[in-house]
Chains A and B, each alone.
Chain A
């Protein structure tokens, strides 16, 4: 047997990052609910730092960089050590990484509320914080590559490929997009102007979403799905093709965020073509996931984790169809700037991303603490609440988006506009209210999730139950 017990690995860091992720998740969602409320009732703009314009970026950064990255660090440190059968070479560095990470995210949130905002989406942080982000990323990368070089398992399993690609891509994206000239400690100007800035930004924006909300989530999926089901991934060849095609094509598509803008048309057209192409590698992973369960679908009922994975990958599949379609020029002319896109975003984040991270944590935390999960029943409740919350949330926004797009475009027989801007906006308030309610349902599910994991950690350890050696060999033997 390849695994020689818990003491050899550094799982403390996994646990710390997992709970950091949960912390930022709760904070980010509270802010999300706050801004969702502000969108139909501006009374919550109680102070400058609570105004919508400032808080919205706290929501996106808190969840993307706080929750997303912490979840990625937790699972990556776990997966890395397991798949290489090697302890982290620099545990002290990992600990420093943890402290720097959490300090940086806290400062990020505070600085955004103070209005230090470069306005480049998902890169809003000012330059001193950018430097901190780069530093903690390098700390992470050192451990990643040192572990890989020292590894005891010759072949690197699929999940490790995705972790490598993410480590490199995010470094390139983050540094290039954030090149800026400081004015003061709290203010800088980007080095790019106008259309170039837009092009660099959306190359970054699309891919930072790809390399935070897709690539590492696939790493988790490819590792934790076989681990929790005891079933090997359906096709190794399909995962190789999907991996390289995804990484190649993703970087060409940023301009689908700039359709019909003043950006040169050829860049937009290239982006559309590659967006369509992306369906293939994306669905490569979806199919790989479904077929892995071939003949074992009863696990959907018997194994509480499988639900998270299968629904999660299904939402990923829907996302990767919806994305290329809304990137088409004619459809984008209708949907761009509307609530439709907000629906797209949240099916990805509240469906795919949170479901996979939830299941990964449910798998890891009991194993690294040596405790049993506090309550499978609560885990099921958590699942249904976030599923229902997310579905109401996103479907509401899709309908709102269609109505919004149609009202913006509606004209009278004489060719004049049928609705004023405010007519359209106020007709959306009922949807915004429903979205808020759906967010509350989802948030309740997340609170149960957090509670369940806290209680799991608090139980007295039951060592004998700790290591269930589920098919460790399967993953390792893949070349």
Chain B
């Protein structure tokens, strides 16, 4: 056999063989707009939601929670409308997940009020005794770091100006720290007093959870 005595030729040939399937199923689709369509009804994350998303990644919530509802009857029944490709146009990275130890979260936005999430994140077991979700109370003890928020949104090409980002952050802060905030009582309960008037990591991750699937739900109510 010729090539088994020619390591370099062998290596080049192996690379070629490996690259065929890669090119057809991965590299070419990257350049096809139909792989990841973009739709006007799906809006990018605000910088607070994006910070929340980064915390979701940091804590590895994706190891237990999926974010794709498959077009199967019982799945739609359990979680809501199945996931559409255009919903993920701003997702870098994607967070579809591969294990469903906890429920799918792609339609969690608007399912519960913020207060539910504050209580649940603080202690899932206080709501569901047998849940195996870890408690995340420490998120409420951490001030949200927004020093890179503008850089993040600009790397992701969300098209916000530095001022937009600042407005988004301060608006969200005003919302959750206002006396009129509907979930104020629970928020104050889980947040240490010195952070009552600041944005915490808990606020951000809840903002993110409340965004998930909202665009699709809004579209449906409009119809």
Contacts and interface: CB of A to CB of B under 8 A. Distances in A.
Nearest to B31: A196
B60 A193 contact: no
Which of A192, A193, A416 has the most chain B CB atoms closer than 10 A to its own CB? A193
Interface stretch (A20-28, A68-76, A162-170): A162-170
B194 to A, nearest CB: 20
Nearest to A121: B98
A42 interface: yes
B134 A149 contact: no
B72 A260 contact: yes
A118 interface: yes
A183 B30 CA distance: 23
Interface in A147-206: 148-149, 151, 154-156, 160-161, 164-165, 167-169, 172, 181, 183-184, 187, 189-201, 203
Contacts of A448: none
Contacts of A52: 60, 63-64, 132, 134
A53 B55 CA distance: 11
Contact of B72 (A145, A203, A333): A333
Interface residues of B, number: 77
Interface stretch (B10-18, B109-117, B159-167, B169-177): B10-18
Nearest to A250: B21
B78 A421 contact: yes
Contacts of A183: 148, 151-152, 155
A244 B5 contact: no
Interface string B167-195: 00000000000000000000000000000
A195 B88 contact: yes
A189 B1 CA distance: 46
B25 A267 contact: yes
Contact of B24 (A116, A189, A252): A252
A337 B98 contact: yes
Contacts of A160: 7
A426 interface: yes
Contacts of B95: 119
B10 A194 contact: no
A2 interface: no
A119 B132 contact: no
Nearest to B68: A261
Most buried by B among A168, A270, A411: A168
Given A274-B21, A337-B100, A145 B60 contact: no
Contact of B99 (A249, A337, A421): A337
User: Interface size class for chain A?
Assistant: 35 or more
A258 B77 CA distance: 21
A227 interface: no
B218 interface: no
Interface string A234-270: 0000001000100111111111011011111001001
Contacts of A118: 57, 93
A338 interface: yes
A430 interface: no
Nearest to B136: A51
B146 interface: no
A169 B134 CA distance: 37
B18 A251 contact: yes
Contact of A200 (B8, B26, B59): B26
A40 B131 CA distance: 9
B20 A251 contact: yes
Contacts of A274: 21
Contacts, number: 246
B135 A42 contact: yes
Contacts of B89: 193-194
A262 B84 contact: yes
B91 A262 contact: no
Contact of A194 (B94, B134, B152): B94
Contact of B63 (A53, A240, A262): A53
A475 B182 CA distance: 75
Interface in B1-41: 1, 4-5, 7-8, 10-11, 14-15, 17-22, 24-26, 29-30, 34-36
Which interface residue of A57, A195, A270, A410 has the most chain B CB atoms within 10 A? A195
Nearest to B138: A48
B34 to A, nearest CB: 6
Nearest to B57: A119
A154 to B, nearest CB: 5
A422 interface: yes
Contacts of B78: 408, 417, 421
Contacts of B15: 168, 172
A425 interface: yes
Contacts of A257: 98
B222 interface: no
Contacts of A161: 4, 10, 14
Contacts of A155: 1, 4-5
B58 interface: yes
A197 B26 contact: no
A426 B98 CA distance: 20
B59 A54 contact: yes
Interface in B85-110: 85, 87-103
Given A195-B35, A195-B88, A425-B132, A164 B59 contact: no
A203 B26 contact: yes
Q: Which 6 pairs, one residue from A and one from B, show the smallest C-beta to C-beta distance?
A: A53-B60, A194-B88, A251-B21, A252-B21, A337-B100, A45-B134
Given A167-B11, A195-B85, 19 more contacts: A38-B134, A53-B134, A54-B60, A56-B60, A115-B59, A119-B95, A161-B4, A161-B10, A183-B151, A189-B152, A194-B87, A199-B29, A250-B21, A261-B70, A262-B83, A264-B35, A337-B98, A338-B100, A422-B130
9 contacts: A52-B64, A115-B60, A189-B152, A190-B93, A193-B88, A197-B91, A410-B74, A421-B103, A426-B130
Interface of B: 1, 4-5, 7-8, 10-11, 14-15, 17-22, 24-26, 29-30, 34-36, 54, 57-64, 66, 68, 70-72, 74-75, 77-78, 83-85, 87-103, 124-125, 128, 130-136, 138, 148, 151-152, 155-156
